[in-house]
Amino acid sequence: MNDQKIRRPRQADIATLAGVSVSTVSRVLANEPGISETVRRQILKVAAEHGYPVKPASEAVAGGLALIASDGVTGTLSVFYEAIVDGLRAGAAEAGMPFDVRLVREDRTTPDAVRDYMQTAGAEGLFLVGIDPNEMLRGWLQASMTPTVLVNGTDPRMQFDGVSPANFFGAYEATRRLTEAGHRRILHLSGSHRHTIRERVRGFEAAIAAVPGAEGRLVSLTLQGSASREAHERTAAALAENAGFTAAFCMNDFIAVGVLEAVTEAGLRVPEDFAIVGFDDLPCAQMTNPQLSTMRVDRAALGREAVSLMLSRFRNRTASARHICQAVVPIPGGTVPNIENP
C-alpha cells in the first residue's frame, strides 16, 4: 500500500470553510486585535477541526465601555473630553481591548441603566469619564465587582481606581505663580461640586496660606450657561466689591477668558494691573490677547493611563484601588508678569 500524503489545509481553505476573507483568517491566527469574538471563535474552531496548527492565543482582553457626562461633551468642555476619549481609544486599540463610548446624563446613571449599557456593548469594564458615581451606582458596582475606572475623577473613599490631573498640586503651582509675581490679594473663580475641582480649591487655599500676608477669595460660579460670560459678569462684580484684588486663578481656561474680558473692560492693564492664570491649556488659551498663562493637562495621557488601570483590574479584581495623578505643567503666557517671561 502506498502512503498517501495528507495536504495540510491552507489559510484560504479555512477562510472558505468559515465564510470569511483570507486576511481575516490571517489576522485571527496572528492573534491581532480588532476582530469580533464571534468571528474569532468560528475561525479557530474551523482551524482546529481541520488540523491547522494554531499557536496559543494570548488571553483575550475583556471589553470596556466609557460613559461620558453628556453636559461636559456638548457644553464648553467638549474639547477637554474629546482628547481624553482619543487617549482611551488609542490605549484600548494597543491592548486589543474591545471599546465603546456612550453619552449619558449623569443624573440618569442608575444601576439598571448602566447594566443595560454594558450588556449592549458586551463590556466587562466601565470607564466613568467626568462622572462621580452616586451612592446607588457605587453600591451596585461594588456588589457586582464590576471593574471600574474613574477618568478625570477622584474617589475620596478610594474604593475605585481612578486617574486625574494633579489638581491640588496644579492649583498650588498656578497660585504660586501669582504670589511669586508679587500678588497678595488673589481671587479664585470656581464653580463645580466635583471632587477634582474641590482639589483645585484646596490647592489654591494652601498656596495662599503658605505666603504671609496673602489673602485669597473664592468667587463661586453656577456654570449653567456660558462659563466665560458668567465669569465676565462675576469678575466685574467682584472687582467692584473687592477693591485691591490684583490677580485671579481660574478653574479652567474658559473662565479665564471671561475674567480677561472683564478686567480689560474695567480699564485695567494685563498683566501690569491684573494677572490671570487659567487651567487645562485648552485651545482658547492661545487665542486671547495677551495669550493666557495656564496649566497644561495631558488629556490623552489620562485616557491611556485609564486603560492601563483597567487592564490591571481585569488581572486582579480584588486588589486595592489605585489612583494615578498626571503632572500638570505651567504654560507661559502674557497674563502673568515677567517672573515667567524673562
Q: pLDDT by residue for the chain (342 residues), tens digit each?
A: 444 455 677 888 888 988 999 888 887 777 665 677 678 778 888 888 887 776 655 556 889 999 998 765 444 557 889 999 999 999 999 888 999 999 998 888 999 999 999 999 999 999 999 999 999 999 999 999 999 999 999 999 999 999 999 999 999 999 999 999 999 999 999 887 789 999 999 999 999 999 999 999 998 887 554 556 766 777 777 777 767 899 999 999 988 998 999 899 889 999 999 999 999 999 999 999 999 999 999 999 999 999 999 999 998 999 999 999 999 999 999 999 866 544
What is the DSSP code (8-state) at residue 320?
A: P
Model pLDDT, residue 72: 54
Beta strands 323-326 and 161-165 are parallel
Distance CA 275, CA 284 (A): 17
Residues ≥6 apart with Cβ < 8 Å to 7? none
What pLDDT, on a 0 to 100 scale, did the predictor assign at position 107?
A: 86
- Integer Cα distance of 288 and 67 in angstroms: 33
Euclidean distance between CA atoms 116 and 68, whole angstroms: 15
pLDDT (0 to 100) of residue 202: 97
pLDDT at res. 3? 47
Question: Nine-digit cell at 223?
Answer: 456654570
Question: According to the model, what pLDDT value does residue 1 have?
Answer: 45
Alpha helical stretches, state H, the chain: 11-18, 22-29, 37-49, 70-74, 78-95, 111-121, 135-144, 167-180, 195-209, 227-241, 253-265, 299-315
Q: In whole angstroms, what is the distance from residue 247 CA to residue 276 CA?
A: 6
DSSP state of 322: -
Of the candidates 120, 192, 176, the residue with the CA atom closest to the CA atom of residue 293 = 176
Residue 206 CB neighbour total at 10 angstroms: 16
Nearest to 43 by CA among 76, 18, 16, 73: 18
* pLDDT score at 45: 84
Alpha helix locations (H) across 210-273?
A: 227-241, 253-265
| Residue 251, pLDDT score | 92
Grid cell listed for 93: 486599540
Other residues' Cβ atoms within 10 Å of the Cβ of residue 178: 31
Which contacts qualify for 69-73: CB closer than 8 Å, 24 or more apart? 69/103, 69/104, 69/105, 69/106, 69/129, 69/130, 69/131, 70/103, 70/104, 70/105, 70/106, 71/105, 71/106, 72/129, 72/130, 73/103
Which set of grid coordinates corresponds to residue 142? Answer: 461594588
